[in-house]
Structure 1
């Protein structure tokens, strides 16, 4: 709420999707994943809460999960990353908040892959 001026309801939804993303990332290190822009707000806020984030990582992954931000020169619009991320989150047993994952960039990146549907539409 404080870091991104979100109301309580949206902040709680964002944090829930952040936790789902981080759990799925810890469970599936073999899958290239990345959060949608709106979920990334939650990731950044949580990482900065170092004591709670470290405890969470140790509990969920058994190790500290480092945050590696995308650099401008990297291809962050890989068309399958968000789709694979959403599928991994679902496989981990979490519900997807379509509003937070169905950001414009995820739909647009699918166009480059020749897909006609959003990665969260399934």
Structure 2
């Protein structure tokens, strides 16, 4: 079993992504930012390896995903190496939240061989552990799905 996704990126890259999380979240500890980035890496790699699964990050894990995405070359290479590109399609509606998707996502991450940090998988309105800048959950029609129903279109232009 892979215990930590850190070997998936260089130490320099990991540190840079952690720094991005810290820059976006004043007062966050380095330890918390590292936990968030580890979990985001496991989430992205699981999504890249298993694109058929309905998955969604918690808001806390999403903060790490955002930080990873802005490292575009690293992100693209990681997704390509591990499977498929994991698109990020944000939206936010905490009233339209299915808590089962977070359990389902954690199960998928474990099945991919990663340890899960369950403390980071909280409902979108739960900021009792840490408050993060990320204010999105993901559009239902997209590959990374926050909930099975109700279906709403992605925030993407229609293709004619």
Distance 2:93 2:73 in 1: 29
Q: 2:18 corresponds to which residue?
A: none
Q: Structure 2 CA distance, aligned partners of 1:94 and 1:100?
A: 14
Check if 1:41 corresponds to 2:63.
Answer: yes
Could you tell me which of 86, 101, 105 is aligned with 1:81? Answer: 101
Structure 2 counterpart SS, 1:2: helix
Q: Is the 8 A contact 1:4 1:41 kept in 2?
A: no
1:8 matched residue in structure 2: 30
Gaps of 5+ in 2: 1-21, 127-160
**RMSD, aligned α-carbons:** 2.4
Please list every run of 5 or more consecutive structure 1 residues that lacks an aligned counterpart in the other structure. Answer: 108-122
- State how far apart, in whole Å, the 2-side matches of 1:80 and 1:106 are: 15
**Counterparts of 2:51 and 2:31, CA distance in 1:** 30
- Superposed displacement of residue 8, structure 1: 1.4
8 Å CA contact 2:39, 2:117 repeated in 1: yes
Structure 2 partner of 1:90: 110
Q: Aligned partners of 1:73, 1:93: CA distance in 2, in Å?
A: 30
Check 1:64–1:105 CA distance in 2 against 1; reply closer, same or farther (3 A cut).
closer
Flag the 1:106–1:98 CA change in 2: closer, same or farther, 3 A.
farther
